[in-house]
Amino acid sequence: MSLSLSAGKPEVPDDAADGTWLECIDCGETFGPFEDVRYTCDECDSLLEVRYAEHPTFDDFEGEGVWRYSDALPLESGVTAQEGATPLYEVPRLEESIDVEALRIKHEGMNPTGSFKDRGMTVGVAVAKELGVGRLACASTGNTSAALAAYGSRGGMETLVLLPAGKVAAGKIAQASLHGARILEVDGNFDACLDIVQELASQGEAYLLNSLNPFRLEGQKTIGFEILEAFRDDYGAFPDRIVLPVGNAGNTSALYKAFRELVQAGELDRDEVPKLTGVQAEGAAPMVEAIENGADEVRRWEDVETRATAIRIGNPVNAPKALPGIRETDGTAISVSDKEITEAQRDLAGEGIGVEPASAASVAGLRKLRAEGIVESDERVACLTTGHLLKDPDAAAAAGNDPEPVPADTDGVLASLASENSSER
């Protein structure tokens, strides 16, 4: 099976260009990488993956950020805003209270537009230029639209975004708006937006930059490279587990691809591969359902709801890539309540790390899995926090302390300070 961790060296097809091609994950059909615009397999409609004749080793990487890993990417350079190279924070209090050997937070909210989507867009927009397409488009729960708008404008291209009306956090719409995207608010959920934008793309109206686009996932692969390099430098060993929030499961697929390529390159032993552990909100947990039931396919949830709007997704398009990733790495998936998400958001904030609700799902999921004994106390774990606190100021304000009104004089302020803070949570 092509998505196996122990897949052999690939045969390079005739349509490869510079040792790079697109391959269907189901039927194995191959396509030239930049010949035509295509997002799925012409033969069977399944997902495509970018494949390479050779995989680089850690020694081949140089520079900083996403393009440090250009030897593992389909292009040498991209439309960049200096994305990647995000911090991997220590969180001693959280590490102790969750009770694992080591816990690090990979804060993807520190990317230029405040989410990991930038890593995908720097590659995706560059590929769009290579293909010579006109308009770029995406459906989005918010962050993809912010990244597309920013990278599209950096590349001098027109952008169109479809958002579920009333379900996108304020910071994200503001970004898409100021960076000049045409914003269509759809009277439906994210999955409906994606259905429509896929139709538009197939009719040639726009180039699709959702994570269905295999080139975007190449950029997101670099999260895995960064985490593994950092753990190796700090602990002399790779992490035992990587925990991440799951929406469309693009990141889960991208991390798994990074691991497979490092195994192929001989940099990572099969038994060193971190356990991929996905976390969803209880109200939008189709991947968790599939993992729990041992199902090969994910059942689309029509009605999804959670405060973590970035992962309010009922039909994770990358499930066929992500399910093997979770299974082959001995990982798992779990769902958490909105209350647990908010508590984790506060816990992270208490370590000085500001994240949006979806991001905190990783930490909430880790806490729960540790409490259930599925994660063990001797594990070294990296949790991904996917987006910045300022993306969703309303959620942050609701989870935090309320401001206290005081009079404009020192005595009045002192009197307030002396009294019990009635608004503290």
Ligand X SMILES: *Cc1c(COP(=O)(O)O)cnc(C)c1O
Q: Residue 211's binding partner, choosing from ligand X, Zn ion, none, with beta-carbon cut-off 5 to 8 A by kind?
A: ligand X
Q: Cα angle vertex 218, ends 295, 18, to 5°?
A: 120
Residues 205-224 that bind ligand X (CB under 6 A): 211
Total binding residues toward ligand X, as defined by CB under 6 A: 18
The answer to whether 247 is a known ligand-binding residue is: yes
d(CA 365, CA 368): 5
CA distances from 24 to 21, 55, 237, 321 (A): 10, 19, 33, 11
The answer to whether 294 is a known ligand-binding residue is: no
The answer to whether 421 is a known ligand-binding residue is: no
Q: Which residues pair with 138 in a beta bridge?
A: 161
Instruction: Tell which one of 20, 70, 113, 248 touches ligand X (CB under 6 A).
Output: 248
Per CB under 6 A, does 335 bind ligand X? no
Decide if 102 contacts 89 (C-beta within 8 A).
no
Q: Residue 44's binding partner, choosing from Zn ion, ligand X, none, with beta-carbon cut-off 5 to 8 A by kind?
A: Zn ion
3-state SS assignment for residue 353 = coil
Per CB under 6 A, does 364 bind ligand X? no
Instruction: Tell which one of 30, 80, 251, 315 touches ligand X (CB under 6 A).
Output: 251
Q: Residue 387's binding partner, choosing from ligand X, Zn ion, none, with beta-carbon cut-off 5 to 8 A by kind?
A: ligand X
Q: Which is nearer to Zn ion, 26 or 226 (CB)?
A: 26
Q: Which is nearer to Zn ion, 30 or 210 (CB)?
A: 30
Any long-range contacts for 41-49 (C-beta under 8 Å, 24+ apart)? 46/320, 47/212, 47/214, 47/317, 47/318, 47/320, 47/321, 48/22, 48/23, 48/24, 48/214, 49/2, 49/22, 49/23, 49/25, 49/214, 49/217, 49/257, 49/321
The answer to whether 111 is a known ligand-binding residue is: no
Q: How many other β-carbons are positioned within 10 Å of the β-carbon of residue 93?
A: 11
Per CB under 6 A, does 359 bind ligand X? yes
Residues 23-62 that bind Zn ion (CB under 5 A): 24, 26-27, 29, 41, 43-44, 46
Q: Give the ranges where 271-356 is alpha helix by DSSP (H).
A: 286-293, 319-328, 338-349
Minimum distance of ligand X from residue 166's CB (angstroms):
18
Per CB under 6 A, does 250 bind ligand X? yes
Q: Which is nearer to ligand X, 56 or 142 (CB)?
A: 142
d(CA 206, CA 280): 30
The answer to whether 386 is a known ligand-binding residue is: yes
d(CA 353, CA 155): 31
d(CA 388, CA 395): 12
Instruction: Tell which one of 138, 194, 249, 333 touches ligand X (CB under 6 A).
Output: 249
Q: Which residue has the tokens 């393009």?
A: 67
Q: Which residue has the tokens 């209090």?
A: 93
Residues 128-167 that bind ligand X (CB under 6 A): 143
Minimum distance of Zn ion from residue 75's CB (angstroms):
24
b vs e for 325-363, b when ≥16 Cβ sit within 10 Å of the residue's Cβ?
A: bbebbebbbbbbebebbbbbbebbbebebbbbbbbbbbb
The answer to whether 143 is a known ligand-binding residue is: yes
Q: Residue 356's binding partner, choosing from Zn ion, ligand X, none, with beta-carbon cut-off 5 to 8 A by kind?
A: ligand X
Per CB under 6 A, does 356 bind ligand X? yes
d(CA 40, CA 211): 12
Rg (CA), the chain: 21
Per CB under 6 A, does 193 bind ligand X? no
Q: Which is nearer to ligand X, 133 or 358 (CB)?
A: 358
The answer to whether 248 is a known ligand-binding residue is: yes
Minimum distance of ligand X from residue 176's CB (angstroms):
13
Minimum distance of ligand X from residue 246's CB (angstroms):
5
Residues 92-121 that bind ligand X (CB under 6 A): 115, 117
Tokens representing 358 are 């979806």
Q: Which is nearer to ligand X, 245 or 283 (CB)?
A: 245
Q: Which is nearer to ligand X, 16 or 48 (CB)?
A: 48
Backbone angles phi, psi at 243, to 5 degrees: -110, 130
Judged by CB under 6 A, the stretch of 80-88, 255-263, 354-362, 402-410 that binds ligand X is: 354-362
d(CA 166, CA 147): 19
Instruction: Tell which one of 127, 139, 310, 344 touches ligand X (CB under 6 A).
Output: 310
Q: Which is nearer to ligand X, 190 or 207 (CB)?
A: 190
Task: List residues binding Zn ion (CB under 5 A).
Answer: 24, 26-27, 29, 41, 43-44, 46
| Sites of contact with ligand X (CB under 6 A) | 115, 117, 143, 211, 245-251, 310-311, 356, 358-359, 386-387
